[in-house]
Amino acid sequence: MSDFDFSTVGASRAEVSADEPTVHQLLNEATAWLQYARGVVATLADLVHEAEGIETKQLALSLEAVAAMMRTGTEGVARAHAKWVWGNSPHPPTM
């Protein structure tokens, strides 16, 4: 479930709260989450290659954590994209 504040959709830049993150901030945060996920996957791959036995429950929990990091990162990219499209459109789409 996304925590995007839909109340700001369609609002002018002046109407959006000052504490609403910028596109740049959203993309930086999303990039960080995706880099964390990449790092964890690389570490897990190394551990699996070196392991004599694999604890499947621990591996499953680790993979779920990677999925959560990737979901957070991709949601951040989506938020940044939506903010950029709505902020740069002279006539934002209506629903």
Averaged in consecutive runs of 10 residues, what is the pLDDT profile of the chain (95 residues)? 54 61 94 96 94 91 96 96 83 62
> Structural domain of residue 77, as residue ranges?
21-87
Q: Is residue 9 part of a domain?
A: no
| pLDDT for residue 7 | 53
Q: Is residue 93 part of a domain?
A: no
- What total of structural domains would you count in the chain? 1
Q: Is residue 76 part of a domain?
A: yes
| pLDDT for residue 65 | 96
Q: Is residue 78 part of a domain?
A: yes
Predicted TM-score of the model (pTM): 0.69
> CA 92, CA 41: separation in Å to the nearest integer?
39
| pLDDT for residue 69 | 97
| pLDDT for residue 1 | 47
Q: Is residue 16 part of a domain?
A: no
Q: Is residue 92 part of a domain?
A: no
Q: Is residue 10 part of a domain?
A: no
